[in-house]
Amino acid sequence: MTKKNFGRIAVFNLIIAVVIGSALSFAYPGSWQFNFLTAYIFSNCIGFSIHILVHLLGSRLERFPITLRRALLVVLFLIGGSIGTEVGYWIHRALFSDIIYFTGHLSLLLFNLVLAIIFGSVAVLYFSLKESAEKMAIMLKEKELQEERLTRSKVKAELDALQSKINPHFLFNTLNSIASLISENPRKAEATVEKLSELFRYTLQTSQKDSVKLSEELEIVRSYLEIEQVRLEDRLQFNIACDSSLAEELLLPGLIIQPLVENSIRHGIAPKVEGGTVAVDAKRVGNRCVISVSDNGIGFRNMNDGTGHGLNSVQERLNLFYGGRAQFQILHNGGTHIIISIPLLHG
């Protein structure tokens, strides 16, 4: 018997003692304290006797049909009532001389057996309903936890799927840059291969992580821009700025900024004869971090011209990672200006 069950039974027995004690005081006017103490002694002796018997045979009772189980419970109430009456009788006699309400031991026993069946049935019904409610609450809690785990697994799977769509596109363009350098400038091609190895390493690492530091993401963006700068030479200029407090503090999905920079170069700077500039900026605005990627290239208007996949993937990954709390905006002002606003406290 656990402490929790012991406490519940004690409270239940106390309620019964108050009810019976009040009835005895009404039927046999006298000392209410004496009536209550008498009722309390017998209610505890009978109540705990019944509970112990039901507890010992509870698992076995579940095997029987409902009708037979009810009949067996009545038998247990009678046995528990008899045992409790005898124990209570001798405790009462040790404290007092006798019980003034009954003319004999048999009448006391019959009276207590009737009460044992009534209150025993009430107690079993109450505790059974309470136990069922607790089991139901536990099942609902487990179901919620399981649904939460499934949701997290689904989100991670979707993030991984979106990541896998971005990585090949990113690496394919980088390899094209190196291929164009091999015949023109082998030394630069070799240096670019080293940069590419950093990109490969980062790509593999991000595929195994849920998030990376902003400083890591910006460093790989710088490497990517340096590779593209080798290919485009003076036609590409870039600038990267970041609040120092954000660089190590902010966590975000890997390869979120790089596809935006790649988009600016591919659709904004590269097609422009004189080239242009790409600017990456990360700053704190209140309790959010605002990351912008802008260029002064030719811009784009149609999301179906090849730019849509990368941008849509970035938006979907941000929504999954931040639970819809991230904001994504595209502006056209002589070029393309993409703004990402994300909460600093990600949970």
Question: Taking the domains of the chain in order of start, what are their residue ranges?
Answer: 3-143, 185-343
pLDDT score at 303: 47
**Which of the two residues, 135 and 340, has the higher pLDDT score?**
340
Whether 326 has a pLDDT exceeding 80, the answer reads: yes
Q: What pLDDT, on a 0 to 100 scale, did the predictor assign at position 304?
A: 47
Output the pLDDT for position 306. 46
pLDDT category at 164 given cuts 50, 70, 90 is low
- Residue 292 pLDDT: 95
- Cα–Cα distance, 67 to 270 (Å, whole number): 85
- For the cut 90, the answer to whether the pLDDT of residue 346 exceeds it is no
Q: Are 113 and 78 in contact (CB under 8 A)?
A: yes
27 vs 140, more confident: 140
Beta strand 236-242 pairing with 276-285: parallel
Q: Using a pLDDT cut of 90, give the percent of the chain over it.
A: 13
Name the residue among 73, 66, 29, 71 with its Cα closest to residue 51: 73
* Top-confidence range, 56-65, 164-173, 242-251: 242-251
pTM over 0.95: no
On average, the pLDDT of the chain sits at: 77
> Could you name the CATH architecture of 185-343?
2-Layer Sandwich (3.30)
Q: What pLDDT, on a 0 to 100 scale, did the predictor assign at position 172? A: 73
Greater model confidence, 266 or 242: 242
Least confident of 13-22, 65-74, 274-283: 13-22
Task: Determine the pLDDT at residue 256.
Answer: 86
189 or 307, which is more confident? 189
Mean pLDDT of 264-282: 91
Say which range, 49-58, 93-102, 289-298, has the weakest mean pLDDT.
93-102
Question: What is the distance between the alpha carbons of residues 253 and 66, in angstroms, rounded to a whole number?
Answer: 58
